[in-house]
């Protein structure tokens, strides 16, 4: 008897669109601090020269993401179960993910601090420190009940909002003295990387596009959307194979739509930084970055454009905080379960820990912002940590690829070429950056 959870994938394109969703959450997470801060700073310091770093970062990592998503659909199990089965000491990959995630508390402090700074520019009567806690509380309210649909719909709203404001900002800057040309854009596609930009470039590569966190998070969203549930457990039948192929292809479509969105927005922020800030004697750091961009808009195009940019900056930064909290409340209970600290299979226990983390994590992030007070540095630090985590993600991706290859699901020559190109480029960039930095 067929389980009522099992569902055949739609065949019509418009029907397939109804099952997109994980990619919107991913876009909300991706287009955040990396795009507004790390990407803008890289453009400010390198001009158009390093534009290629951002484009490559957005395009190249999606192949690893697809392997993680495919493994989530095929296995139907939380990611840390798969991580615990990687070769090596017991749970080494789970522990590594846990410790590197703890380091990224600093990055999240920069992200929530940046969102609070943008909001304080709109409401100057409130301090950024106070607003960071208010934003944390709002985020907690949206997340603590653990409703996937709330996460998906809120992410969709945030994605639409920041996409509109970002594209409007790029259009607006071309009516100012800071406008740029097509030749400027092409000059940034020559694969040059000046030595003095390595730290910022590696940080930007680690945090822009689908970074290590988003690749890991994507597995949870694919399962909560229902791709694995609809596919059902592998019983070796042709029916299961057809369902798996269909749902994996829908997951591919979801990931590609997300890639288009975050590549456009990421490129836009880089171009803003390169056109407006490049050549300035001092690149703004900390709280001044968003204010500097907004003030330039005010001087060249009026107060209304400055307000529009600031609203867009808030949506970008807050969307990343929101999606990351949703992800961490899934990841950490999964880790705790693999460590044997909680009974992860018990739904009530899992829900309890989601609520605890939803309320406690934003407090930690806000305190990190209060102590460090330099969002730019905090975000770039998180990007470097993310580059280290990418090495683990690449290793796991290779393991998933080899393990699932015998099923030969949604895997053609292009898929193979893109996967190994992704592995090679991520590995080389991450190792090169770590060697140069340390």
Q: In Å, what is the CA distance from 177 to each residue of 267, 275, 296, 301?
A: 20, 9, 10, 10
φ/ψ of residue 258, rounded to 5: -60, -45
Q: How far apart are CA 36 and CA 315, in angstroms?
A: 11
DSSP 37: I
Residue 364, pLDDT > 90, answer yes
State the pLDDT confidence band at 299, using cuts at 50, 70 and 90: low
Q: Which residue would you say has higher pLDDT here, 395 or 438?
A: 395
- Mean pLDDT value across the chain: 85
Q: What pLDDT does 198 receive?
A: 76
Least confident of 70-84, 92-106, 264-278, 333-347: 264-278
Distance CA 51, CA 56 (A): 9
Q: Tell me the C-alpha distance between 100 and 104, whole Å.
A: 6
Give me the pLDDT at residue 152, please. Answer: 92
367 pLDDT more than 90:
yes
Q: What is the set of domains in the chain, with CATH numbers?
A: 18-437 (1.20.1740.10)
pLDDT at residue 175, as a whole number: 81
Per-residue confidence (pLDDT) for residue 312, from 0 to 100: 79
Average pLDDT estimate for 79-97? 94
Among the listed residues 313, 107, 285, the one whose alpha carbon sits nearest the alpha carbon of residue 211: 107
CB-based contacts of 427-432 (< 8 A; 24+ apart in sequence): 427/391, 427/394, 429/202, 429/205, 429/387, 430/202, 430/206, 430/387, 430/388, 430/390, 430/391, 430/394, 431/391, 432/202
Give the mean model confidence (pLDDT) for residues 391-402.
93
Largest CA distance in the chain: 71
With a pLDDT cut of 90, the percent of the chain lying above it is 42
Q: Tell me how crowded residue 251 is: count the other CB atoms within 10 A of its CB.
A: 28
Give Cβ neighbours of residue 92 (< 8 Å, ≥ 6 apart): 86
| Rounded Cα gap, residues 168 and 311, in angstroms | 12
Nearest to 365 by CA among 401, 334, 321: 321
Banded pLDDT at 2 (limits 50, 70, 90): very low
Q: Is the predicted pLDDT of residue 372 greater than 90, yes or no?
A: no
pLDDT band at 316 (very low <50, low <70, confident <90, very high): confident
pTM, to two decimals: 0.88
Q: For the chain, give the percent of residues with pLDDT over 70.
A: 89
Give residue-wise pLDDT tens across range 216-239. Answer: 999 999 999 999 999 999 888 999
Average the pLDDT over each of 26-30, 72-76, 392-396 and give the range with the smallest value: 26-30
Q: And the tokens for 269?
A: 């922020």
Lowest mean pLDDT among 85-89, 285-289, 346-350: 285-289
pLDDT of residue 285 exceeding 60: no
159-187 pLDDT per residue, tens:
888 888 878 888 888 887 888 889 989 98
Count the neighbouring beta carbons within 10 Å of the beta carbon of residue 326.
30
User: What's the pLDDT score for residue 283?
Assistant: 64
């Amino acid at each position: 008897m067929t389980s009522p959870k099992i569902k055949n994938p739609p065949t019509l394109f418009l029907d397939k669109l109804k099952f997109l969703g994980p990619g919107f959450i991913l876009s909300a997470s991706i287009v955040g601090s990396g795009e507004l801060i790390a990407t803008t700073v890289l453009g400010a310091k390198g001009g158009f020269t390093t534009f290629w770093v951002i484009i490559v970062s957005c395009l190249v990592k999606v192949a690893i993401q697809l392997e993680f998503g495919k493994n989530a659909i095929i296995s139907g199990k939380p990611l840390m179960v798969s991580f615990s089965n990687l070769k090596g000491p017991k749970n080494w990959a789970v522990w590594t993910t846990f410790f590197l995630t703890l380091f990224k508390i600093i990055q999240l402090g920069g992200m929530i601090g940046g969102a609070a700074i943008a909001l304080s520019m709109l409401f100057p009567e409130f301090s950024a420190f106070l607003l960071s806690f208010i934003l944390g509380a709002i985020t907690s309210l949206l997340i603590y009940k653990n409703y996937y649909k709330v996460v998906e719909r809120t992410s969709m709203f945030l994605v639409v909002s920041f996409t509109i404001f970002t594209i409007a900002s790029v259009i607006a800057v071309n009516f100012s003295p800071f406008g740029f040309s097509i030749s400027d854009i092409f000059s940034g596609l020559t694969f040059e990387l000046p030595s003095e930009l390595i730290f910022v470039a590696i940080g930007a590569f680690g945090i822009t596009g689908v970074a290590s966190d988003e690749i890991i998070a994507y597995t949870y969203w694919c399962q909560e959307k229902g791709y694995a549930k609809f596919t059902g457990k592998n019983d070796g039948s042709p029916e299961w194979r057809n369902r798996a192929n269909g749902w994996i292809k829908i997951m591919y479509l979801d990931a590609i739509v997300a890639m288009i969105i975050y590549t456009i927005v990421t490129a836009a922020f880089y171009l803003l930084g390169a056109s407006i800030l490049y050549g300035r004697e001092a690149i703004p750091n900390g709280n001044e970055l968003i204010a500097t961009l907004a003030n330039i808009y005010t001087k060249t195009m009026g107060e209304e454009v400055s307000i529009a940019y600031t609203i867009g900056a808030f949506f970008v930064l807050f969307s990343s905080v929101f999606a990351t909290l949703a992800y961490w409340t899934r990841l950490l209970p999964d880790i705790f379960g693999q460590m044997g600290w909680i009974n992860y299979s018990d739904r009530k226990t899992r829900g309890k820990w989601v609520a605890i983390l939803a309320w406690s994590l934003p407090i930690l992030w806000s305190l990190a912002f209060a102590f460090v007070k330099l969002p730019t540095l905090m975000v770039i630090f998180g990007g470097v940590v993310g580059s280290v985590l990418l090495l683990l993600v690449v290793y796991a991706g290779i393991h998933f690829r080899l393990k699932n290859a015998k099923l030969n699901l949604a895997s053609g020559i292009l898929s193979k070429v893109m996967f190994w190109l992704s592995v090679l480029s991520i590995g080389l960039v991450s190792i090169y950056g770590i060697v140069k930095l340390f």
